[in-house]
Amino acid sequence: MGHGNSKSSSESSDDSPPAASGDVSKSSNPSRTQKLKDKLHLHRPHFRRHGRRSHNLSKLLKEENFAGIALLRIITAEMKFKDKWLACVTLGEQTYKTHVSDQTDKPTWNSEKKLLLEKNGAHVARISLFETNKLSKNNLIGYCEINLLEFLTQDKDSEDVTFDLFDPASKATVVGTVTISCSIEDPMETEKSFVKRILSVVDYDEDGKLSFDEFSDLIDAFGNQLAANKKKELFMDADENGDGVVSIDELAMLLAVQQEKEPLMNCCPVCGDVLEVSDRLNSMIHLTLCFDEGTGNQVMTGGFFTDKQAANGWMLKLTEWAHFSSYDIGLRSGSSASHILVFDRRKKRLVEELIDSKIVLSMRAIYQSKVGLGIMDQGAKEILQSISEKQGKKMESPESAKDIPKFDQINLEEAKYPLEHYKTFNEFFIRELKPGARPIAHLERSEVAVSAADCRLMAFKTVDDSLRFWIKGRKFSIKGLLGSEACSDSFMEGTLVIFRLAPQDYHRFHSPVSGTIEKFIEIPGCLYTVNPIAVNSKYCNVFTENKRVVCIISTADFGKVAFVAIGATMVGSISFTKQAGDYVKKGDELGYFSFGGSTVICVFEKGTIKIDEDLLENSGRSLETLVTVGMQLGVATSKCSEVELPIMDKCNLDA
């Protein structure tokens, strides 16, 4: 197949800019090469429309952590009513969606996506099904979670497996089923498949054969500087009968083998990124995911953070355009806080916390402007105090018990007592958990600190880091937080850990370290919200102005640790269950907050703790990490060399 058998220049130019009039008759290599480059870039996946890559290879993967590239296919579902259905799959920080089905109770998609699996990374995929008949938003009807590593190692009678879909409001209720398949391709087959798809770009008449000139042009389009005789050598090895044409299958196998010896592509033909020739594993991963055309089935659209974002319709685009809401990692100034994205440490994926739009707008009006804070200074602080006190009394009344069933975001199986045990809403809110519900990491090792609460956590090596990535209040300081009585020079440049509790969380807080309680110091103050909208405001100083109690714990491994329980709007009560002089082991209960959102801040003396890297990395991105009581927080620097830090997957994170 020579150039005479290829498509005409008028046909091929549809995929590239028109040539200048003086170059119409020319057929030089540079013009053909440019056309090929343009054609390759047309194969960019759908996620380009969303401005984000559907795979994250900013960190190079080590070979020992590579589990494979899985081809996940969402085939069909069976639901209990007819609608137009959309399916989403979330793994780690990426979410992909299928096309919308026809009106039916048995939607079929046959949509697929290649997913990078890491042994120590995200491998629990969440599949969500949405009905799409709403104008403003689509409703989540059912979901399931699949551990892909376990799924791929199980013996199955069929490649297609059906899973129950659970009601998001009740995990015990099955609302339908979804059928999927998932397989891992052999690395050599992955490279061969990739090369075949690249070679097919220049197979203009689609007969499955290439001439040497076409093959040479394609290598040039890759930006490879191989000598002409090297290209000829490769081509001739494949052209066994010497007729000047080679089948794509033959050439693909040859190039896949050659890629193992001496890579032909030193830059990605899709996105243009430079590939590290010596790093064959990451080059193969990059090329496979970037040029993902699958097996001919429809490829899922990517570029989303969460399934809720992927399932939103035109109303989300309108509100983003008007800047009423925005999806992004980190809140920066707090101006885009209607969708709070946090990273679930156990499931290793992004999850979304929604805030009612009316509350968002009102909080922005108050906390994101000088005028709003000026109003607060003119008496609104006293109003917040009064509202919190009244709400507290209401939650202590027997009538409040009727509101308990409405609080449906809680795992009741963990509660120490059945629902009917709680006579008021506040009794339920400050509920205890069953013994063992929160395993404590390395319980007998006092040099390992743990999470103090079920919360969204931020950790910073220094106060300066916290001001750069999270706290925007102009007057925030360690001395302002702890007060003059508790503050000391050793705390001034210490490590800061912020535990933000949402109303749906377990609201008892625990000691992150083992030691003796020296004293409690009560500091009166306001009851601002601890929502990130306020924390990220440069006009408000939530942590240093709110009511709080400072507890100083003296430890053998970390020196002194300042444990600060901070009240917030609707939290008029901070109760400690320990007394000065008591010895506490890490994980022991220290106290509880009454109804509302609230925060704990721990300040470690300078240079006494090495915080876990994943927590620091997320915090450096202004991304909160969702953790539970007892998860590992860090290790005493004096004992770091003696303690082997565990791989997160081997920790007790499933509680």
| Catalytic residue ranges | 454, 510, 598
Helix (H, G, I), strand (E, B) or coil at 78: strand
Could you identify the residue written with the tokens 């999270």?
Answer: 470
Cα→Cα distances 640→442, 445, 554, 609, Å? 14, 12, 20, 9
Q: Which residues does residue 497 pair with via DSSP β-bridges, in sequence order?
A: 459, 602
The dihedrals phi and psi of 68, each to the nearest 5 degrees, come to: 135, 175
What is the chain's alpha carbon radius of gyration, rounded to the nearest angstrom? 29
Residue with tokens 């240093």: 544
CA distances from 559 to 377, 442, 603, 607, 635 (A): 39, 19, 11, 10, 13
Q: Whose CA is closest to 143, among 106, 168, 112?
A: 168
Q: What residues does 341 pair with on adjacent strands? A: 352
Coil, strand or helix at 176:
strand
Burial of 78 (C-beta count, 10 Å sphere; 0-12/13-18/19+): middle
Cα–Cα dist 560/575, whole Å = 21
Length of the chain equals: 655
DSSP, collapsed to helix, strand or coil, labels residue 301 as strand
CA atoms within 13 A on the CB side of 502: 18
Residue 424's SS3 state is: coil
Contacting residues for 526 by C-beta, under 8 A, at least 6 apart: 381, 384, 385, 545, 546, 547
Consecutive H or E run containing 630: none
| Rounded (to 5) percent helix, strand, coil in the chain | 35, 30, 40
How far the first Cα of the chain sits from its last, in Å, is: 63
Cα angle 80-81-87, degrees, rounded to a multiple of 5? 85
**184-205 exposure pattern, b = at least 16 Cβ within 10 A, e = fewer:** bbebeebbbbbbbbbbebbbbe
CA distance 9 to 6: 9
Instruction: State whether residue 623 is helix, strand or coil.
Output: coil
**Token digits of residue 174:** 């099955």
* Closest to 588 measured CA to CA, from 440, 406, 425, 415: 440
Residue 14 DSSP label: G
Is the Cβ–Cβ distance between 91 and 310 less than 8 Å? no
How far is Cα 76 from Cα 275, in angstroms, rounded to an integer?
37
Distance CA 508, CA 432 (A): 7
